Amino acid sequence: MKETKYGYQLSTGELIPYTDHRIKRSRDEYFHECKPGGDASSQHSFCLYVPDRGM
């Protein structure tokens, strides 16, 4: 996972914009991707949990 100018870019190349409804607040200090059936190689995420960034 990489933060870019446009959003979060996942290891699969998928880009989730910062304003996307799939972004949720993580309850710990880690990022968590939700993939269909738990398939880490899936090219689509249905949610992304993001930790607080100290802002």
Confidence of residue 12 (pLDDT cuts 50, 70, 90): confident
Sign of CA dihedral 1, 47, 34, 46: negative
pTM of the model: 0.80
pLDDT in tens, 21-49: 999 999 999 999 988 887 877 888 889 99
Residue type, 53: R
The beta strands (E) that lie in the chain are given as 2-3, 7-9, 15-17, 23-25, 32-34, 47-50
Q: What whole-number distance in Å separates Cα of residue 9 and Cα of residue 54?
A: 20
Q: Are strands 23-25 and 47-50 parallel, antiparallel or unpaired?
A: parallel
